[in-house]
Amino acid sequence: MESLIQDVRFGLRQVRRNPGFTAVAVLTLALGIGANTAIFSLIDAVMLRSLPVREPSQLVVLRWTAHKEPQRNGTSSFGDCGNEESGENPSGCSFPYPVFEQIRSAKEVFSGVTAFAGPAALILTGQGAPRLADGEVVSGDYFSTLGVNAVVGRALGPEDDSVSASPAVVLSFAFWQNAFGGDRSAVGRTISLNGAPFTIVGIAEPKFTTHSPGNTQDLFLPLKMLPRAHIG
């Protein structure tokens, strides 16, 4: 203890003699600790924690490759699956909808197949002042394939993914808390997305934000509602 007290006294004397050097040293340590904390948080989110879905180890994202760049009207680069459009063998994760339907019909290959696109920036009105919301556009079997439930109301289903269906939307738990104050009566309420009316049918469970690590979405709407929400 006597040796420790002497060392502390010596350190304090050095601090008083060189305040500038001390400030730089403390700032350097703070920056180093902050950078390491940020890097660990990213690794923890991307690599260490499993996706908050049923059997995450069995999920795969399909990609295509080609000998040359195909003619496309539009693509969706989502999360950690981007499009590589340059080079001799371009690839990507965007498929035409008929291809998705064909893959989904191969029930002997996959236990479930779902499609998603986005994120799309949506103007939400009907709940206080207009605000921007990030929306993920998904097929009707998205929540059932991932094994994600709703804590209030219900999740989207195949019956919602039809041009003749009533426009439905599911909110993420965090967005429900932030924009609606966690009010359970939000389910059943009609909001406007890009000028089109949508009915809130459910709130996703708290642990689920999206299927891509490190990303979050505010709400989820069916693929067949793309034209109605003026997303293209």
Sorted by where each begins, the domain ranges of the chain are 2-48, 58-225
Is the pLDDT score of 173 beyond 90?
A: yes
CB 53 within 8 A of CB 59: yes
pLDDT band for position 48 (50/70/90)? very low
* Least confident residue range of 64-68, 83-87, 113-117, 191-195: 83-87
Residue 120 has pLDDT above 80, yes or no: yes
pLDDT, mean of residues 40-66: 69
Which of 8-22, 132-146, 176-190 is the least confident region?
8-22
User: How far, in Å, are 81, 123, 169, 190 from residue 195 at the CA level?
Assistant: 30, 8, 14, 12
Q: What local confidence, expressed as pLDDT, does residue 226 receive? A: 86
Confidence of residue 19 (pLDDT cuts 50, 70, 90): low
Mean pLDDT of 124-150: 91
Say what the pLDDT of residue 55 is: 81
Global pTM value: 0.73
Q: Percent of the chain beyond pLDDT 90? A: 38
Q: Residue 104 is encoded by which pair of tokens?
A: 């989904």
In b/e form, how buried is each residue of 76-99, taking b as 16+ CB within 10 angstroms? bebbeeebeeeeeebebbbbeeee
DSSP β-ladder status, 190-193 and 196-204: antiparallel
Mean pLDDT of the chain: 80
Kindly tell me if the per-residue pLDDT of 81 is higher than 70.
no
Share of the chain above pLDDT 70, in %: 72
pLDDT recorded at residue 142: 93
The pLDDT of 56-62, averaged and rounded, is 83
Checking if the pLDDT of 35 tops 70, the result is no
Confidence category of residue 111, pLDDT binned at 50, 70, 90 = confident
CA-based nearest residue to 110, from 50, 53, 161, 60: 60
pLDDT of residue 216: 80
Q: Residue 64 pLDDT more than 60?
A: yes
Q: Which pLDDT belongs to residue 175?
A: 95
Alpha-carbon distance 121 to 34, whole Å? Answer: 31
| Distance, first Cα to last Cα, the chain | 71
At 2 the three-state DSSP class reads: helix
Q: How many CB atoms lie within 10 A of CB 110?
A: 14
As beta bridge partners, residue 220 has 136, 170
